Amino acid sequence: DLATDEVDHLFASSDDDHDNRLSFDEILEHHEVFVGSEATDYGDYLQDIERFTDEL
C-alpha cells in the first residue's frame, strides 16, 4: 500500500526519539522530508498547520 509506505518513510526519516509519534519539533527539524512528501501534497497541507490540534 502506497500510503503505508509513505508513512513508514516519514517516520523512519523524522522520528528521532523512536517513540512512534512525530512532535512539532521533529517535523520542523525534518521539514524537507515533509515538503517533498506526497502525504502532505508536497507541502501544501503544511501551509495551515495551526488547524491541526493533535498529531498529523
* Residue 26 belongs to some domain of the structure: yes
Q: What global pTM score does this model have? A: 0.60
* Residue 22 belongs to some domain of the structure: yes
* Residue 56 belongs to some domain of the structure: no
* Residue 16 belongs to some domain of the structure: yes
Flag whether pLDDT at 46 surpasses 70.
no
Under the banding of pLDDT at 50, 70 and 90, the label for residue 39 is low
Cell 523512519 -> residue? 12
* Residue 47 belongs to some domain of the structure: yes
Domain count along the chain: 1
* Residue 12 belongs to some domain of the structure: yes
State which residues form the domain around 27.
2-51
- Rg for the chain (alpha carbons), in Å? 11
Whole-angstrom distance, CA of residue 2 vs CA of residue 28: 24
Flag whether pLDDT at 17 surpasses 80.
yes
**34 contacts 43 by C-beta, under 8 angstroms:** yes
Flag whether pLDDT at 29 surpasses 90.
yes
Flag whether pLDDT at 28 surpasses 60.
yes
* Residue 11 belongs to some domain of the structure: yes
The pLDDT assigned to 2 comes to 78
* Residue 25 belongs to some domain of the structure: yes
